[in-house]
Amino acid sequence: MNIFDFSLQLNGYPLKKAKKELAEIQKKDDIEFKTFLDKKRAEIVNYHLKNTAFYQSLARQADSKDWESIPVMTKKDLQQPLEKRLSAGFNVKDVYINKTSGSSGDPFIFAKDKFCHAMTWAVIQNRFSWFGLDFNTSKQGRFYGIPLDKKGYYKERFKDRLSKRYRFSVFDLSDDAFEKTLQKFRSTAFDYINGYTSSIVQFAKFLERKSICLISVCPSLKACVVTSEMLFENDKVLMQHQFGVPVINEYGASELDLIAFQNPNNDWQLNSETLFIEILDDDDKVLSHGTEGRIVITSLYNKAHPFIRYDIGDIGVISQNSTLQKPILEKLVGRTNDIAILPSGRKAAGLTFYYITKSIIEDDGKVKEFIIEQLEKHLFKVIYVSEESLTEEIKLGIVNEMERYLENGLTISFERRDVLKRSKSGKLKQFTSFVTST
């Protein structure tokens, strides 16, 4: 029995209908697809202008025939009671409801109508099938957080059983915990790994210290899918070497859909079937492919709640090799709120600091994890987990490299801890700035 599919259908999500819709979209040629996209964009705008009071007030001058007349939505626009944002004919009892992670600093509750949520799962299953993975039959080793309250804990464990998943804690990344994880891989025919990038990287480093390739103890393993956190190329190389399987990069947002998924050609393919994705400048003007800007997304199927020209808070680049039907995400730079404002007024992506520091620290081999915080324009703190303190030579190297890549006059402090604090979901925020533009 296809338990995963059956459980969605049982809860009112028409997955069979969604899979059929997705197949019809994917059969279209270039001309047919453009017609489909133009029609779906106009339909969703007109639907919410007619049926959603919240959107009517937000988009007073919107005209579905003039796409640039449609305003960009932000997360702050959505921070009001869900009941005020739902479309006419929908209520909280007949929609899918969830909460964003809050990694952007602006969490909110959102809703999807049941067909829209079914389309989300149809797309996810389609992408995983590119690598021979089936949610109904493939066994998943899951590196995610889990609620610590009894009700939430057992609810997630039950969902894991239905979804053929076994969950490993991301709150304990000690060698003792990883020994137990390794034993589970020895005794279980896992088909793939899925979860937060930083936690899975730590497991790969553990295997490297043990000189173990995971596929040698778990030969059924086919792939590793990482999500929710930045994937650096050297981490990808490490994981592929220690796991012995392809490492696949996933990018998504719970309020929208799966946004991009690495295809078998190693391209980060954007979801064009249920989303319309644009790159905009600071004045909300559309940028050409190959130019870095804000990622703005329209959900083409969500009638319960509008996500139209929604600024997700990320910065990226769409490849010049993209087509309308097969857009490629060339680069995901980071979040707009992860920008460091330097003493000179210059701005830099916060992950620049993380990346520079990472290249030096990892040469030492003793640091397990670290994060960077900007406390003032000139003051940055590197917080790290290690059995020993960093040497003065390494600290000086980090300071010198930051000043070489960015600017002089920066002050870098260092703090060693036994463990890094993660969000309730288990994610690790690699860079945080506490400095505002004012």
Supply 218's token pair. 């778990």
Is 66 buried (19+), middle (13-18) or exposed (0-12) by CB count in 10 A? exposed
User: Which pLDDT does position 63 carry in this prediction?
Assistant: 92
Q: Per-residue pLDDT tens for 204-238?
A: 999 999 999 999 999 999 999 998 778 888 899 99
CATH 3.30.300.30 residue window(s) in the chain: 342-433
Supply 35's token pair. 């017609």
User: Which pLDDT does position 239 carry in this prediction?
Assistant: 96
Q: Which of 230, 171, 178 is nearest to 204 (CA)?
A: 178
Dihedrals phi, psi of 12, to nearest 5 degrees = 90, 10
Supply 284's token pair. 């909300």
CATH 3.40.50.12780 residue window(s) in the chain: 3-272
Low-confidence ranges of the chain (pLDDT < 50): 104-105, 438
Q: Are 249 and 195 in contact (CB under 8 A)?
A: no
User: Which pLDDT does position 407 carry in this prediction?
Assistant: 85
Q: Compute the distance between CA of residue 372 and CA of residue 357 in angstroms, rounded to an integer.
A: 9
pTM of the model: 0.82
User: Which pLDDT does position 229 carry in this prediction?
Assistant: 79
Q: Are 118 and 130 in contact (CB under 8 A)?
A: no
**342-433: in CATH 3.40.50.80:** no
Q: Which amino acid is at 51?
A: N
| CATH level 2 (architecture), domain 3-272 | 3-Layer(aba) Sandwich (3.40)
Q: Per-residue pLDDT tens for 391-434?
A: 998 899 888 888 887 889 999 999 999 888 776 666 778 888 88
- Check residue 58 and report its DSSP letter: H
